[in-house]
Amino acid sequence: MSDQYRTEIAGHELSPESLMMGYGYKPEWSEGALKSPIFETSTFTFTSAAEGKRFFELAYGLDDPDEGESMGLIYSRINNPDLEILEQRLTLWDGAEQGLVFASGMAAITTTILTFVSPRSVLVHTAPLYGGTDHFVHHVLSRFQVESVEWHDGMTPDDVAAEVGDRPLAGVLLESPANPTNCLFSIAAARELADRYRTPDNAVPVMVDNTFLGPLFQHPLKHGADVVLYSATKYIGGHSDLIAGAALGSDTLMARVAETRTILGTMATPHTGWLMMRSLETLALRMTRQMENAQKVARYLATHPKVDKIAYLGLLKPRDDGYDVYTAQCEGPGAMISIWIDGGESEAFRFLDSLQLAHLAVSLGSTETLVQHPASMTHAGVDPGDKDRFDVTDALIRISIGVENPDDIIADLSNALDKI
Ligand SMILES: *Cc1c(COP(=O)(O)O)cnc(C)c1O
């Protein structure tokens, strides 16, 4: 193993947070530059025609790589050093064999799903889903005769299997915790369902959108998932300054997804890849502080008279729905808080318009606290009946806690709640 892939020192295993500063990169490649330069190039020169031919054989899966052989650099829609180094770093958090980065979270989700579905196959998905994913399943996949079955809170694998029947199952998509309600779904149960349909010709991947808790507080591959999906725009990017996505899993599944990405052209740019490497260096610091802040803020909000209901994983008690799933598959409560205030849209808007430190904006996982109104913003396009069923009401406000001083966040929320 060469230096850039060192993961232990004299038998001591290094943690991902320590490896984020250098893993996968060698300064000797770039005049000793400590940080990887941005490889702003569309194409890469081959040292010989035979080499070019061999790279393409591997890129298009026309031949399997020899032991230890890896595909060389070809063209930035297929591969680029910034993306490759970043992809290797991302695998460390989730214990994945291979990672792929994309132009957005939606690019990661749609490219991965398109890899596994076909007309008249069924995609099982948990509900509620992020608004964009919901739209893709119900308004885009449906046009290509890909069918969907909803897995909502309280359904067992038997219940879901009864709805799938004997149709071919293309995959199971879990969003847990769900955006915007923090509802949890069991990865082990999804695995049990997928295994009933799995055959040598049909992988039936369990895909988990891990945007809310990952990569720090939930590691789906360890609990039976096959693919982890991210909107890297959120915690991984973490500074509200980029749009990106990621998919992680086994070499075999990721090779199939990589082929789709090459053809759809949904990869991230080298500059975005470089920014994400910068972001990963402080990921553990940021997410830990955000989680600590969220615990303080949630404790404050839980007893506030204007707050009718609160959903924060850190407040789950043994008798609550979701507690067992939380203890089985989550390693921390993260920093996403949903509150249902006393009132409707006008009270919610008065609260939002009174914030002075927190920003009134969609997105989440950033250094600054972000607050939004899902029913009229991120989930505006969701079917009204579905909004009711999943409690995405006009009283719901979603808060993504940042790294500010927690007392300042509380003062801001408190002042705005007084204005309702
Ligand atoms: C934001 C988000 C997405 C979409 O990601 P983009 O980077 O905006 O394309 C998907 N899933 C969840 C849970 C999200 O929060």
pLDDT higher for 321 or 336? 336
pLDDT in tens, 47-73: 999 999 999 998 888 898 899 888 899
Ligand 1 atom closest to the Cα of residue 108 is 9
pLDDT in tens, 346-382: 999 999 999 999 999 999 999 999 999 999 999 998 8
pLDDT beyond 60 at 2: no
Q: What is the pLDDT of residue 1?
A: 44
Question: If you measure from the C-alpha of residue 242 to the centroid of ligand 1, how many angstroms do you get, rounded to a whole number?
Answer: 12
User: Which of 126, 183, 211 is the pocket-test mutation for ligand 1 (most atoms within 8 Å of CB)?
Assistant: 211
What are the tokens at 208? Answer: 């988990």
Please report how the helices 81-94 and 270-280 are oriented relative to each other, as an axis angle in degrees rounded to 10: 40
* 180 three-state secondary structure: coil
Look up the CATH superfamily of 283-418.
Aspartate Aminotransferase, domain 1 (3.90.1150.10)
Over pLDDT 70: what percentage of the chain? 100
Question: If you measure from the C-alpha of residue 318 to the centroid of ligand 1, how many angstroms do you get, rounded to a whole number?
Answer: 30
Ligand 1 atom closest to the Cα of residue 178 is 13
Ligand 1 atom closest to the Cα of residue 243 is 7
Nearest to 171 by CA among 83, 234, 112: 112
Decide if 36 contacts 81 (C-beta within 8 A). Answer: yes
CA distance 37 to 230: 24
Q: Name every protein residue with a CB atom under 6 angstroms from any ligand 1 atom.
A: 104-106, 130, 132-133, 175, 179, 209, 211, 231, 233-234, 243, 245
Nearest to 108 by CA among 276, 275, 257, 220: 257
Decide if 128 contacts 183 (C-beta within 8 A). Answer: yes
What residue owns the CA closest to ligand 1's atom 2? 231
Ligand 1 atom closest to the Cα of residue 107 is 9
At residue 204, what is the residue type? V
Query: Does an H or E element contain 139, and which?
Result: none
Decide if 25 contacts 85 (C-beta within 8 A). Answer: yes
Mean pLDDT of 109-121: 98
**Fold match flag (14-280 vs 283-418):** no
User: Which of 109, 130, 382 is the pocket-test mutation for ligand 1 (most atoms within 8 Å of CB)?
Assistant: 130
Ligand 1 atom closest to the Cα of residue 233 is 7
User: Which of 101, 125, 135, 179 is the pocket-test mutation for ligand 1 (most atoms within 8 Å of CB)?
Assistant: 179
CATH architecture of 14-280: 3-Layer(aba) Sandwich (3.40)
Among left, alpha and beta (phi > 0; psi -120 to 50; other), residue 10 is: left
Decide if 171 contacts 113 (C-beta within 8 A). Answer: yes
pLDDT beyond 80 at 340: yes
pLDDT beyond 50 at 197: yes
* 202 three-state secondary structure: strand
Instruction: Compute how many other C-beta atoms are within 10 angstroms of the C-beta atom of residue 11.
Output: 5
What are the tokens at 160? Answer: 């879901």
Q: Would you mind telling me the total number of residues written for the chain in this entry?
A: 420
Question: If you measure from the C-alpha of residue 46 to the centroid of ligand 1, how many angstroms do you get, rounded to a whole number?
Answer: 37
Please report how the helices 406-418 and 283-302 are oriented relative to each other, as an axis angle in degrees rounded to 10: 40
What are the tokens at 10? Answer: 């004299």
Nearest to 415 by CA among 376, 333, 357: 357
pLDDT in tens, 395-419: 999 999 999 999 999 999 999 999 9
pLDDT beyond 80 at 309: yes
Burial (CB count <10 Å: 0-12, 13-18, 19+), residue 88 = middle
- Mean pLDDT, all residues of the chain: 96
User: Which of 233, 269, 377 is the pocket-test mutation for ligand 1 (most atoms within 8 Å of CB)?
Assistant: 233
Instruction: Compute how many other C-beta atoms are within 10 angstroms of the C-beta atom of residue 271.
Output: 13
pLDDT in tens, 225-274: 999 999 999 999 999 999 999 999 999 999 999 999 999 999 999 999 99
Backbone angles phi and psi of 355, in degrees to 5? -70, 140
Nearest to 4 by CA among 31, 30, 29, 23: 23
Among left, alpha and beta (phi > 0; psi -120 to 50; other), residue 329 is: alpha
What residue owns the CA closest to ligand 1's atom 6? 105
Among left, alpha and beta (phi > 0; psi -120 to 50; other), residue 145 is: left
> Domain residue spans in the chain?
14-280, 283-418
What are the tokens at 325? Answer: 């799933």
The alpha helices in 60-104, defined as continuous H runs, are 81-94
Question: If you measure from the C-alpha of residue 105 to the centroid of ligand 1, how many angstroms do you get, rounded to a whole number?
Answer: 5
